[in-house]
Amino acid sequence: MTHKSMDPFARKMVFGSFVYGGVMLVMFAVLTVVYLHMRPRCSDRVVAAATDAGKAWTATVMERRCGAEAPFFTHVNIRSASEDLRTGFFSGASTEGEVFLIEQDAAGAGVNLIWIAPDTLAIACPHCTPAYIRQSDPQWGVVRIHYQLPPR
């Protein structure tokens, strides 16, 4: 029984095809990662920010919506004033330091931030619907949080 070996030119063509296919897969993966990072599904939009008088802390009001039919979420995040706002690489959402979350648009809720002391933040939300409040933490690290919300 004789064994025929593959023509060297054909071998190079097959090898080249596999290399080309591999390069195309890597390129597709890289472009997908870049696209998902640049156009996240749930990016946050900064509505307002306030820094305390001692310039130690910054509180930020943001609005998020994850799709055309999804509800709006308004949230307040606290961070050190020396740090930039961090968002998820793929999600675009900023959840670190989140202390207040309501399922309502920012304009309708009317969220206001007032630093009443270097370590005390007041979150006023005169038009918040109490049933839609998902999170209202009383403290974040050393920062105490007071809420001025409509009665339930």
Q: pTM (2 decimals)?
A: 0.73
What are the tens digits of pLDDT across the range 79-127? 999 998 887 676 667 888 999 999 999 989 999 999 999 999 999 999 9
Q: Residue 113: CB partners within 8 Å, gap ≥ 6?
A: 48, 49, 50, 59, 61, 76, 121, 122, 123, 124
Rounded to whole angstroms, the Cα distance separating 22 from 25 reads: 5
- In this structure, the strands spanning 120-124 and 143-148 are parallel
* Cα Rg, the chain, nearest whole Å: 26
- In this structure, the strands spanning 139-140 and 57-65 are unpaired
Would you say 64 and 75 are in contact if contact means Cβ atoms under 8 Å apart?
yes
Q: What is the token pair recorded at 123?
A: 């979150």
* Whether pLDDT at 42 is above 90: no
